[in-house]
Amino acid sequence: MKRALKIAGVTIGVAALALLVLLMWPTPPAPLPPPGTDYLIRRVHIVDVERCAAGPLTDVELRGGRIHAIGSAAQGDGLPVIDGKGGWLVPAFWDMHMHSFHVSPELHLPLFVANGIVNVRDMMDCPGTRDTLIACLQDKRAWTRAADAGEMTSPRFVEIASYYLEGPDVTPSDVSRLALVYKHRGLDALKVYDRLSRPAYFRAAEEARRHRLKLLGHLPKAVALDEAVRAGQVSIEHSDALPRHCFAQAAAWREGKLADVSPGALARRIVKEHDAEKCAVVFGQMRAAGTWLVPTHVTREEDARSADPEFLADPRLEYLDPLSRWALRDDLGAVAARYPSADHKAALRAYFEHGRKLTGEAHRAGVGILVGTDTTIGGFRYHDEMAHLVNAGLSAPEVLRAATIAAARYAGQEREAGSVAIGKRADLVLLRANPLEDIGNTRKIAALWMNGRHYDRALLDSLLDYTREQARSPAITLKLILGFARSSVQSDL
């Protein structure tokens, strides 16, 4: 017995030591671009995202991380020359709905860069000043500084929202207290969520105005979309806000009078009992107020395809760590269980397509659309989202505009970024095919520049290889598991 206990003790000790070594083992950083920021890019078509047109072959000179000259003025004396080979030069992309974690420098941020995304809007900070799982404000600010300096491969964080205000137990007094905390911390926005009560929501709107913070996030069930627009919510996240508002029985649903209707039957009713006039009115209100829509159709697609074997076998999931793959499958399994019959699953798919169609109608009514993912493997799914927007009825040029200059305008950075123009930041993507003809061509990236630092195709491929390798790293998996177990928010996730 003593010998068995001794062996068990040694085994546990060795295992604990191995785990400690794994946890402390240094993780290699993602590959970096060369330090130079001055280049002459030859023989490219500049895509004008304002006019939705591509110009003739020309040259572009970059100096000091800025676009210095275009055309005959781009002499580039003594500069490294990049042959654009007749490709299309577009502004780098902006993902306007994402989330970051402590392991994101290894697992997520390089994937954004590898897919042409150099600006992101992070939609949830940690609730306190530190957390073991979610990256907090100081992390994201530090990553942005390092990325701008060429010391880290990461997009820059252009806006960071608070931890979400959620649940019927959150009182107006709680909202006032938290708003002051988040303002002093230096966050940019208050984020509202699904189950926030009406009094708490409207207090959030008051506090956002008082502290000059943006009000953004989900559309709480208790609040109608037109009320959120009048309250000053600057962005509505997720396309399902539109079908629910335009549902003829929306008021009854918000009041809980349809609680006994199954999810599948409710989805079918929302599509069937659509009030087009009500929709047109609220679109006009959103346009007048400047309220943006970030539909994240890829997240709704995950719901609609939660039982689709082909979707679950997406080869890009190899870029996810085991814990995230498990969490994704668990989430999709829960969705599939809520829609058990084939009829209910068909209703859910129709609901997804209905929401996508309404995004197109909102766009045609003048509502500003932004491109966001809010999902795993966000870098890859960003291009899926752009394809969904085309399927919603936007043209390829309109989607490209949403992914670039529209996002820059939302962030108040249109003078600095968002288009290929002299004096703007050299945040550029070189494509091998014309994205104005087919939005799928945004996937055909030949090179990227961020602040003038050049990622050629070989370096972009090395970022993909790096991320795939880190997704398989036992050390990263252990850090995620321990971070989740110790996180102050793990019960909410």
Q: Which of 276, 271, 302 is nearest to 388 (CA)?
A: 302
Is 386 within 8 Å of 371 (Cβ atoms)?
yes
> Is the pLDDT score of 205 beyond 70?
yes
Q: What are residue 82's DSSP bridge partners?
A: 41
> Is the pLDDT score of 268 beyond 70?
yes
pLDDT per residue as tens digits for the range 77-105: 999 999 999 999 999 999 999 999 999 99
Q: How far apart are CA 34 and CA 62, in angstroms?
A: 14
Number of helical (H) and strand (E) elements in the chain, helices listed first: 20, 15
Q: How far apart are CA 7 and CA 435, in angstroms?
A: 64
Read off the pTM: 0.94
63-67, 312-316, 382-386 — which is least confidently predicted? 312-316
How far lies 278's CA from each of 238, 242, 273, 294, 322, in Å?
19, 10, 12, 20, 45
Is 402 within 8 Å of 362 (Cβ atoms)?
no
How far lies 131's CA from each of 22, 156, 260, 399, in Å?
20, 21, 38, 36
Helices 342-364, 297-304: inter-axial angle, 10-degree rounding: 160
The whole-number pLDDT of residue 11 equals 40
pLDDT per residue as tens digits for the range 148-165: 999 999 999 999 999 999
Q: What is the DSSP letter of 262?
A: -
Residue 475 banded pLDDT, cuts 50, 70, 90: very high
